[in-house]
Amino acid sequence: MSNGEIIISVVTAVLVVFSLVVSTVIPKGDPNFPGRRNLVTFTLVCLVLVGGTLAAVEVYGAEDHVAEAAEVAGEDEPAGEPPAGESGGAEPEPGEAESPPPDEEAGEAPPPAGSGGDPVAGSEIYASAGCGSCHVLADAGSTGAIGPNLDESPPSFELVVDRVTNGAGAMPSFSGQLSAAEIDDVAAYVVAATSG
């Protein structure tokens, strides 16, 4: 349980206990509660507790949602990082193999660029992997606001494969969760959905 969830739980519990006490316990001893004398104080306490609960949910609930969404999918390239396919260094000489990213497991080569994939299967994987919680994609009905809007900036097949396999910025790598074929399927789906 995160700190935000704990704070929301405590604030909500205080509101619930207060509500139960003023609606069931106090009226047994004082049927006229809150009465004219205590009405302003009672109203202010109620407003503070309800407002505090709403504020806690708004502030801490949003933080938890952003953190959770960032774990599931991620942002576009962070500032200062070269675009996918550009290492920032010298291009490999013809015939020279490009070295794999350091976080790839030994023995697992990335799928060849443009190797295809099944867009229908990719649609299901896009939904089940939580991609829509961070990305806008009209075809999927997703409206996430953390990662790039895929409709406005349609990525290439190779870029999707790279981002899903290796991650970038806040976007985690899915290479341990999805197979190379599933990553190809997601890439095929995103490209098909954004190419009109």
Query: In terms of Cα–Cα distance, which of 20, 21, 18, 24 is closest to 44?
Result: 18
Q: What is the pLDDT of residue 85?
A: 45
Helix %, strand %, coil % for the chain, to 5? 55, 5, 40
How far are the Cα atoms of 11, 41, 105, 137, 174 from residue 145, in angstroms, in the given order? 28, 42, 31, 11, 20
- Does the global pTM surpass 0.85? no
Q: What is the pLDDT of residue 109?
A: 43
Q: What is the mean pLDDT of each run of 10 residues along the chain (196 residues)?
A: 82 90 86 85 91 84 57 46 47 52 44 67 91 89 87 90 87 89 92 82
Query: In terms of Cα–Cα distance, which of 75, 52, 85 is closest to 167?
Result: 75
3-class SS of residue 165: helix
